[in-house]
Chain A
Amino acid sequence: MDAGDDAINISQEDIQRLSPADQRDLQQFMQAKQQEANFQRTIHELTETCFKKCISRGSISSGRLSSKESSCMTNCVGRFMDSNLAVLRHLEMMRQQQ
């Protein structure tokens, strides 16, 4: 994403004025934000994948998910994560066989 386009307007001096404790705080803050961003990224990817699977083309008539679509989305998330695990497990098995 193009996050860098909108530079945050805080001067170098301002940053040098930060106390060590606040610098640590900020570092933690950044880590938490990074985690949050990864997490949201996953949700975006999952939503797209599952939307494609669960909402059939040309069938959009309501702004809400039908109960069928909704349970499809729920299942989709669950099975996607199961698949992820299954792939990892199999990979581990292949690695051990070598």
Chain B
Amino acid sequence: MVFGGLFGGGSSSGSNNNNNNDDSSSTSSPSTISTPSPSPFSSISTSPSGGSSSAIKAKLQGAITQQSNLINAKFLISKINENCFDHCVSEPGASLSSREQTCLSTCMEKYIDGWNVVSRTYVARLQKEGAQLQQGGMGGLGGGGF
């Protein structure tokens, strides 16, 4: 997906990313984040005290990136819940009807689609304003900004 990089990884290009195995899912877009890897916490707990300074740094960065991706995913899911419940379950019955369930699935996909549109538009706008601010200069937000 277009702005997959926003969900992590994106801005850490400068640092050494030789940390553990936790980067596998960090470049996911909302659509893949909705199916998180089975155990997001597993690689956070670190092996008993690890060697050099740079290894510790890498470990910390990996853990922080993972936490921040997790929070972002949780937040998106809670927003989807709120908004799609609002849309799809107007009169809560004794159980979810199949119509409501279908609606929830469709709504979720639509919401994620919307998220992508908003994020693309927002980034484009920020870049445009950034370019206007420093017209004549280098222009733009320097690409890797976010």
Question: Interface size of A by Cβ–Cβ distance < 8 Å?
Answer: 53
Cβ contacts A31-49/B at 8 Å (1 or 0 each): 0110111011111101110
Q: Are A46 and B122 in contact (CB under 8 A)?
A: yes
Most chain A CB neighbours (cut-off 10 Å) among B54, B63, B111, B118: B118
User: Does A9 reach chain B (CB closer than 8 Å)?
Assistant: yes
- Is the contact region of chain B dominated by helix, strand, or loop, or is it mixed? helix
Assess whether B83 is in contact with A48, with CB atoms less than 8 Å apart.
Answer: yes
How many cross-chain pairs have Cβ atoms below 8 Å apart between A and B? 151
Category for how many chain B residues contact A: 35 or more
B125-A77 in contact (CB<8A): yes
Contacting residue for B60 out of A8, A40, A51, A78, CB 8 A: A8
Beta-carbon contacts under 8 Å, A1-59 to B = 1, 3, 6, 8-11, 13-15, 17-19, 22, 25-26, 29-30, 32-33, 35-37, 39-44, 46-48, 50-52, 54-55, 57-58
Sample 21 A-B pairs with CB under 8 A, ordered by A number: A1-B71, A8-B60, A14-B50, A14-B56, A17-B53, A29-B15, A33-B65, A36-B8, A37-B68, A39-B146, A40-B72, A44-B79, A55-B110, A60-B106, A62-B110, A70-B113, A74-B121, A76-B118, A77-B118, A77-B125, A78-B125
